[in-house]
Structure 1
Amino acid sequence: MTSTLPARTPAAGGVAPVALVSESALRANAPLALAAGAASGADDVFTADGWGHGAAWVASVLSDLDMDAAALDAAILFGLPGSHARPVLSLRGRSLGSKPLLRGEGVSYGYTHRAPHDTTIALVTGGYAQGVVRSLGNAVTVAIDGRRHRIVGRVAMDVCVVDVEDAPVARGAEVVFFGDPADGHPSLEEWTDATGLTAAEIVAIVGARADRRVAA
């Protein structure tokens, strides 16, 4: 069951991508972060809205655990790449529909991608206005129904295009941009490699701009 926090930037069709923060992951990571100590700027953990996770929500969970953010390693607390802890935040969009793309046809602004063969593409909620950085186009994959598919073409303001090949993708299907690799989701590390941004920068942007919600 999820609870809704105040909505951020609406996306195309009024459906905003969701920055889902996991309370169970945060609770599991907190003792590990405490054992590691404040090695990665944990005294600034609430800067920029709790690194995109929601400062008030994080403070509430830590208070329940009788922990102080200043004593915790923030990278471990939030499960950022390299921490070997569970990612707390994932970004999820929705398919707005799909259509055929014929060999040689281009996608999105400037046609930076042209289909090498006949395929199917899906339009997905989530663009640079919600933290899906433009440089991710033609560079990373998303997960839909347990399969990985590449973002193709330039990322637009509120949407992006995904090459789903021969996989049937229903309108409204969930699209995971990044999350927990243990669940088959793309890792946030793919985004850091593609963009040159740090993991902390990415989660802060996504959490501030997408429709942030809390899951148990």
Structure 2
Amino acid sequence: MISPTGPRVRLSRSALVAGVGQAIEAGGADAVADLRRDAYGHGVLFVAETLAQVGIRAAVLDPESVEVAQGVGIAAAPDAPTLNPGAIFGFPEADSEAGDKPRPVMSLVGSVLSIKALRAGEGVSYNYTHIASQDTRIALVSGGFGQGVARSLGNHASVEIRGALYPVVGRVAMDVCVVDIGGADLARGDEVIYFGGEGPAGPALTTWEAASGLTAAELVCALGLRLPREVVA
């Protein structure tokens, strides 16, 4: 069961279908998909089912995924040329290769756990790497380095809440982050989007890459293999 407050990854089937179409345009109809590492953390079953629906019948697979993929009509093709996974899954590096900017298939979603006042001069999280320059309000949001949120994102990234962006302040903790929300009208239980979706946090993986030194593929793979996954249209 997926926790209503805990961090989770949300997978968009429509974004995956669009990404596969772009990848086929760029890579040719004879290429196959690369579904290793549990389809880059997106889930072999989910991705293979969608590929089968759009007419792709083969993929490069890890040995433990062959049976799952074959069950939905995807055969193993270890020596075939592969489609660009960046285009399929909407990684930032695929922007220049696709006619339309790809939309990430995966979003990272959390929730506001609590809200409190932060006074000028007070610090946030481990070692107080962020000191408030003025009175403000902060939100504790679910999702930390224990779930794959890169520790280096503190003081560099922002999250989306109710359609607006708010900066992550202080160091990322094991299970939570702290976000400066100022005077915004937010409440406990509000959804927090770290990246993905169609709002302002959609392209945030680019910031994650720059702050962490990891690629988008590495980041989403780490998250997708650790967190519950939910599929939306």
Alignment TM-score > 0.5, same fold: yes
Question: Residue deviations 1:85-121, cap 9 Å, x none?
Answer: 1110010110001000000001111111110110000
Equivalent residue in structure 2 for 1:138, among 155, 159, 168: 155
> 1:183 offset after TM fit, Å?
2.3
* 8 Å CA contact retained: 1:109, 1:154: yes
Q: Could you tell me how far apart the structure 1 residues matched to 2:134 and 2:202 are?
A: 25
TM-score, with normalisation over the residues of structure 1?
A: 0.87
Match of 2:105 in 1: 88
Residues in 2 aligned to 1:134 and 1:107: alpha-carbon distance in whole angstroms: 14
Do the aligned residues in 2 keep the contact of 1:142 with 1:186 (CA within 8 Å)? no
CA distance in 1, matches of 2:171, 2:140: 12
Hey, what does 1:77 align to over in structure 2? 88
Identity %: 47
- Structure 2: gaps (5+ residues): 61-81, 95-100
Q: Tell me the residue number matched to 2:145.
A: 128
CA contact (8 A) 2:5 2:189 kept: no
| More RCO (CA 8 Å, sep 6+) | 1
Aligned residues of 1:178 and 1:185 also touching (Cα < 8 A): yes
Q: How big is the alpha-carbon RMSD for the aligned residues of Structure 1 and Structure 2?
A: 1.9
Aligned to 1:156: 173
Q: Does 2:22 correspond to 1:22?
A: no
On the 8 A contact 2:104/2:202 being kept in 1, the answer is no
Give the number of aligned pairs: 202
Contact 1:107 1:153 in 2 (8 A): yes
1:205 aligns with 2:229: no
Distance 1:28 1:120, change over 3 A: same
Distance 1:142 1:202 in 2: 16
1:42–1:74: 8 Å Cα contact kept in structure 2? no
Pair 15,174 (structure 1): closer, same or farther in 2 beyond 3 Å: closer
Cα drift, residue 202 of structure 1: 0.4
Structure-2 separation of matches of 1:144 and 1:104: 25
Residue aligning to 1:59: 48
Moved over 4 A (4+): none
The answer to which of 60-69 and 152-161 deviates more is 60-69
Larger radius of gyration: 2
> What is the TM-score normalised by the length of structure 2?
0.81
CA distance in 2, matches of 1:28, 1:213: 18
